[in-house]
Amino acid sequence: MIDNKEKNFISAVIYVHNNEKHIKTFLEKINDALSKNFEKYEIICVNDKSTDNSIEEIKKIGSTIDGIIQIVNMSYYQGLELSMNAGVDLSVGDFVYEFDNIILDYDLDVIMQVYNEALNGYDIVSATSNKKRRITSSIFYSIFNKSFKGMYPIHTETFRILSRRAINRVKTLNATIPYRKVAYANCGLKLNSVQYESINNTSLKFSKEVHKARKSLGIDSLILFTDVAYKFSISMAFIMMLLTLVTGIYTVLIFLNSKPIAGWTTTMLLLSVAFFGTFAILTIIIKYLTIVIDLIFRKQQYLIESIEKIK
């Protein structure tokens, strides 16, 4: 009997947070897809402090299938990024699937499509739905990509696959990864995406806790990885410096052309100079912090895409 299964060891890291309604179906179908196509694989479910019966559902599935299923229990709710980092750190696969979302709105063949694309020389391949994005997501990605100086723009992704080289590269470049999607887009390796036709309109409803964490992540990412906050802060500092300068000139004109209350001119000039100096110092501090952020999160010494040995 000829075995056509792939020889690469595969890890599938799945984010779980209060998903008892969907996790059973998702695990069954993912396990079927992996067992059908790969000789060896593991499934790592990262439990981000679920308060429902998600873990019980995972354990039930684990007892009925042949695949290896592990559960990583986070100490407390830590959000998608840190939880997925924990799962990827524990994975041992040659290729690692990251399932941030457990809603299956795609045909299972898409799982192999991204894998086959990875075999074509892409270290990171994502699966992207063709359905219309939410307005908030569209606005965020539009603003982010206009100010992001990475190699590839970022966009909404349903899941992705990473080569072991990509995981090692990102870990080498960044001690901590506050936003994996940005780190992957700027790691210097080849990226690609596979767009699929969404087979249903089902979407995952996030809790207030998750919404808050996602909103905070979006704001943090704009500050860390783009110059939006820098441009805004510098602009506001210069505007305030200009207003302070205008106030100082106005004070001198009032003093020369009228008789203000005793001490008013001195007080206003003193305040004008103080505020001007304050905003000048803030401008320097903002620039300094931007340089620090660049050194820590953005700029690398060098990035190598590949090495070709001729002889």
Higher pLDDT, 27 or 285: 27
159-192 tens-digit pLDDT: 999 999 999 988 887 655 678 888 898 888 999 9
* Average pLDDT across the chain, whole number: 83
Looking at the predicted structure, is the pLDDT value of residue 236 above 80?
no
179-230 tens-digit pLDDT: 888 889 888 899 999 999 988 776 666 667 777 877 887 877 777 777 777 7
34-55 in b/e burial notation, b at 16+ Cβ within 10 A?
A: beebbebbbbbbbbbebeeebb
Sign of the Cα torsion 82, 87, 90, 92 reads negative
The CATH number of the domain covering residues in 10-225:
3.90.550.10
Full-model pTM = 0.78
Looking at the predicted structure, is the pLDDT value of residue 103 above 90?
no
For the chain, the structural domain boundaries read 10-225, 228-298
Looking at the predicted structure, is the pLDDT value of residue 240 above 90?
no
User: Tokens 């501090």 appear where?
Assistant: 285
Distances (CA, A) of 279 to 234, 236, 250, 266, 274: 10, 9, 19, 20, 9
35-82 tens-digit pLDDT: 999 999 999 999 998 999 999 999 888 888 777 899 999 998 988 988
